[in-house]
Amino acid sequence: MKFNENADLDPSRSSSGGGGGGRIVVGGAGGLVLILVALFFGIDPANLLGGQTVDTTGGSGQNTLQNCTTVKEIKTEPECRFVAYQNSLDRYWGSVVPKFTPAERFVMFSGQTQTGCGAATAAVGPFYCPSDRMIYLDESFFSTLQQQFGATSTPAVEAYVMGHEYGHHVQNEIGVLAKVTKSGAGADSASVRSELQADCFAGVWFANATKDPKSPIAEVSEQDIREARNAAQAIGDDRIQQETSGRVDRESWTHGSSAQREKWLLQGYRTGDPNGCDTWSARTL
């Protein structure tokens, strides 16, 4: 993945601390073990409708991402890549979703932090909280992803994670995310359909990220897509269950199989159209 070094960055909705298809008209119905069974790249279900005071600096009061004002700073401050991803996602989804409001904030934290969905720790993994409309990511996540699941930690994988979580925000904006609160687990559940749509939305963004001349993303290569596909495969419910318990239980799935996650990521990337991401009415996932 290459970045546009002439682009400015807006870090105003990013914080960190030590402690092209057409307009969207999606139709249809509208420790680490905790990650594996419920939250990997997902929505925090602890309190989807609740709310509480949020510590947006991750507890320490430091906020290094606020220094990320140009793409050139990525060379000395690699975490500035996340501001680039967020800015690009804001611009793309704002161009295709009517009356779109960007995610309130992206929060990179270390150890633990408070969110509108309750307390979050490194054991939760990356997630989107609908209550405060924020995306949360523990700083150690990508090393965990690489060490325990064999997914190479690269900018493309980072972008996939961000694109997926931002996809949940898009779902919140278009009114389909609330359906997950009424769903249990299972291969055909609303939870799985939501997660696969978020994968598809990530693929759509990959396809369109470089079309905006002001985008901080200059190139998404086929190698980047392969790396994102490998990450999607690494965190399928079936693969995680097989590796952790030695058996696959479709009735407990919350995110979809490895094949499904890769399929819907590619569906988004190959069509470049969010209207092709209607997992809610798809007869076959």
Q: Is residue 89 part of a domain?
A: yes
Q: Is residue 283 part of a domain?
A: no
Q: Which H or E run contains 202?
A: helix 190-208
Overall domain count for the chain: 1
Question: Is the pLDDT score of 157 beyond 80?
Answer: yes
Q: Is residue 50 part of a domain?
A: no
Q: Closest Cα to residue 25, out of 273, 283, 284?
A: 273
Task: Please list, residue by residue across 212-234, b when 16 or more beta carbons sit within 10 angstroms of its beta carbon and e when fewer do.
Answer: beebbbbebeeebbebbbbbbbb
Whole-number pLDDT of residue 111:
84
Whole-number pLDDT of residue 148:
72
Q: What's the pLDDT tens digit per position in 35-89?
A: 333 344 565 444 333 333 233 333 344 577 999 999 999 999 999 999 999 999 9
Q: What's the pLDDT tens digit per position in 163-181?
A: 999 999 999 999 999 888 6
Enclosing domain of residue 174: 2-43+60-276
Q: In this prediction, what percent of the chain has a pLDDT beyond 70?
A: 81
The full DSSP string for 160-191 is: HHHHHHHHHHHHHHHT-GGGGGG---STTSHH
Whole-number pLDDT of residue 223:
97
Residue 175, class by beta-carbon neighbours within 10 Å (0-12 exposed, 13-18 middle, 19+ buried)? Answer: exposed
pTM of the model: 0.86
Confidence of residue 278 (pLDDT cuts 50, 70, 90): very high
Of 139 and 232, the structure prediction assigns the larger pLDDT to: 232
- What is d(CA 145, CA 218) in angstroms, rounded to the nearest whole number? 26
Whole-number pLDDT of residue 20:
52
Whole-number pLDDT of residue 123:
77
CB 26 within 8 A of CB 277: yes
Whole-number pLDDT of residue 38:
36
Q: How many Cα atoms sit within 13 Å of 56 on the Cβ side?
A: 13
Whole-number pLDDT of residue 166:
97
Other C-beta atoms lying within 10 Å of the C-beta of residue 49: 10
Q: What's the pLDDT tens digit per position in 180-232?
A: 866 689 999 999 999 999 999 999 999 999 999 999 999 999 999 999 999 99
- Across the chain, mean pLDDT equals 84
